[in-house]
Structure 1
Amino acid sequence: MSATDAAGTLTAAPAIRGRLRRPQLAASYRYLDWAMLGLLVVVTMVALLAPMLAPFNPVAPTGQMYAQIGSAGHLLGTDAIGRDLLSRTLLGLRTSWLMAIVVVAVGLLVGAVTGLVAGAFGGWVDTVLMRVTDFFLALPAPLVAIAVAAALGSGLWNTFVAISIVWWPFYARIIRGEVRALAARPHVEAARMAGVGRRRIILRHLLPGVVPTAVITASLDIGNVVLVLASLSFLGLGQSAPAPELGADTARSMSELLAHWWIPVIPGLAVMLLSLVANLGGDAVRNVLARRGR
């Protein structure tokens, strides 16, 4: 082999190794995405089964106050009046996670219908619906949610109403833009020129096209709702005591932070982990749908 051939072989070797590594990296990313989706399922199952998984009644004292993490019978310890923190965290996780899913689902439903109708009909219908959407988008959503929750009073249902009122306009804008883009595509124009009715065009051509965007947007938004719910309960606008709620449990035990740090820190960590799992799961949903789209 000549010196020129040897040099060419040496130069090509890294490129060949790079091409060999790419399928391995792609497979690793796929496995990681499916692992994140599995983690979403696990968290949802834990939330659904929380009453059965909780070792104690979350609102009843167990008789052992200020038990530390890892104590016998109390994996996460107990609070100032002896309530088991693991039980309260599981029930608080249940409330935050399931409520976040319901808020996102309701907001997505209202926003998707609004955006789909506005984008499909156009004209004055689009103008009216989008001006209403713009009005809600112009409002400071966190302040409006706090004001509504404070006006309605504490309670899980009131918190749900307060957040749902300000959560749908974002979806309406996204879905409307996606529908307008789909409506300009050749296959939709061809269906319209062939005399296909508007209802059929919406159901057969527009609605299936916006589903991936809607699913990705909603999956990425669950973590934000978890944080908003925790913030409202931290301010005392969630469920009334002694109901277990992550944000409220953190707020009520802040005075224990220096002496018994685990009491306020554990529910705060649970909020952080829920938000992290939701964001990672949302990224995984986006990646899986993008690969299937390709």
Structure 2
Amino acid sequence: MLRHFTSLLFAGLVAAGGVQAAELHIGYQKSSLNLIVLKSRGTLEKQLAAQGHTVKWTEFQAGPQLLEALNVGSVDFGMTGDTPPIFAQAGGTQLVYVGFEPPKPQASALLVPADSAVRTLADLKGKRIALQKGSSAHWLLIRAVDKAGLKWDDIQPVWLTPSDARAAFESGKVDAWAIWDPYYAAAEKALKPRVLTTGQGLVANQSFYLASKTFADKQGKLLQTVFDALSDNDDFLEQKPKETAQILAKAVGLDAATFDTVVQRRPSFRVTWLNPQVVAEQQRIADRFADLKLIPKTVTVKDIVLAPQ
């Protein structure tokens, strides 16, 4: 996977002996299954140690917080959903797309209480809906509102982190909750909500690997090592789903049955370059957010996509 990464990113690096030891700082979320398993297995640490490098891992509640850390230089590399990098690019963050995972539309949903009077997407009019601003759930909700024939101003978004959103949903302070796995799967198991809609037919719900532009420009060999490790990890994830769920359960603190569901909702973990279709979909998302004036300016996604040579 991504075997031409070195030829693209190594330009500008000092020749043999010029690459100094570094600490790679990776940001991840509870939804960053590939990275969590990679961290738990310790394979990346071993590979980087052989090069004289170390790794520091930091968990974030959601993609917007992770990319804010990348913006200020405390994270070099991380994984988010489709919407956070669009908000980050519009806000001036110097980042680049370096890979993506296949669509997983079933891994996000719009939930309502089991006894809710909300039966259709059109019933969302006037309702309070919890979600993380600038997250993949934000895009899911926009698409749901569009499909219902409503305007964005017809609903009342309540901006909350996933943990705060669950508390608000559970206590009845909001009418609905737009959320992604594993929070979605955990809520299904514990709260027994009704799924008003998943992302199926609405959003691709793809995951993206991103790096700060400065890091990508200067540390091509480190990024190549990360992708080599992810490639090996992809094989583990796809060949050992039960063991994967057990590793995730231990690392995240949710039960293995929840992660069995999470893993089943993902068709693949395979990380590849962004292709023109994926870039076009990201641009469609960016354009819609700009139309709604939910980001400060329009952006051109392809400008920050690293491509194979």
The bucket for the TM-score relative to the shorter chain is under 0.3
Flag the structure with higher helix content. Answer: 1
Structure index of larger Rg: 1
TM-score, normalised to structure 1's length? 0.23
The structure whose residues are more often strand, as a share, is 2
Q: Which has the higher contact order (CA 8 A, sep 6+)?
A: 2
